[in-house]
Amino acid sequence: LLEWYDRYRRILPWRAMKGEMPDPYRVWLSEIMLQQTTVGAVGPYFRRFVNRWPTVAHLARARRGEILKMWAGLGYYRRAHLLHDCAKKIMCDYGGEFPRDEESLRALPGFGPYTAAALAAIAFDKRASAVDGNAERVMARLHAVRVPLPQAKPRLRMLAESMLPDARFGDYAQALMDLGATICTPRHPKCDLCPWMKDCCAHALGIAGNLPRRLKAKAKPVRRAIAFVALNGKGEVLLRRRPKDGLLGGMMEVPSSAWREDPMPTLAKAAKEAPGKARWRLVPGHVRHVFSHFELEMAVAAGHLAGADCGVWRPAKKLGGEALPSVMRKILRHAAAAGIIKLPFP
């Protein structure tokens, strides 16, 4: 596997080149961003972050609101809060240097078992088993583990740890990631190109494409609400900040009625939760967005307000610089498509 990695390793913006020492800050930043997010999506965000905040010291001094703006669109926004909390703790408690052992790393904000193992192995070449989704898939196929996920996780972690080499722990961790991402893919694995093909039990049995097995996911509940795109006489749009704790914590939002698992509310009923009294009118169509645990269906109402008791007014042409999560950008795009506002982003 290491010979294969030396030849075919991916070139990634956060990965040290062969012969270079890894930068713990870049390894950590990438691992936090990559949680439940694809490499393709993370790349542009990572580059913008390191250009703006090239070291953990720069990130610790940043304002939380600026970090949220830079994170907008990447999803799972609690990660951004924990990222900032961790940077400040590194500066205050560790003099700007990341601890090198898994136990100390696991005590940092935003670190779980995988992130601690990944940073220990990749950044400091410590003997640590970093088992992400790619590694789980490789282990399930290599050993033909038929127990479905998530029940199989403890066994897959044990198998992965049993296969650690005697050296090059960081390269091994990244090799497993690359093997899962490019060869042992979720669908249609490229077994003929795999350095472990001759040793793979699932390949020998002809079931590689069927592993790992997963329990059938439950249908996600659907929540519904009406979003209120409010304009004032200056053509500014009303936004408000969500509570720090909870879904989309600390991000800016278009005001809306509560997100409930009920039929879509009538405009008259939802208007009781509007940011002010106006002649609200519904925009044709709905906005849909999928979160990890539920789906959201939103109707959009537009209206003019002389003032509002909550939130802040922002010029429509400057909305691109706000910490707006993807679902809020969808709502604003829906209003823009109906000619309600003009947006600075597509």
Residue 45: how many other CB atoms lie within 10 Å: 18
Residue 294: how many other CB atoms lie within 10 Å: 14
Measured between alpha carbons, how far is 93 from 89 in angstroms, rounded to an integer?
A: 6
Q: How far apart are the first and last CA of the chain?
A: 43
Q: Is 103 a catalytic residue?
A: no
Residue 198 backbone zone (phi > 0: left; psi -120 to 50: alpha; other: beta): alpha
Measured between alpha carbons, how far is 346 from 151 in angstroms, rounded to an integer?
A: 43
Angle 14-139-26 from CA coordinates, rounded to 5°: 10
Measured between alpha carbons, how far is 310 from 289 in angstroms, rounded to an integer?
A: 25
| Catalytic-role residue among 3, 31, 66, 161 | 31
What is the set of active-site residues? 31
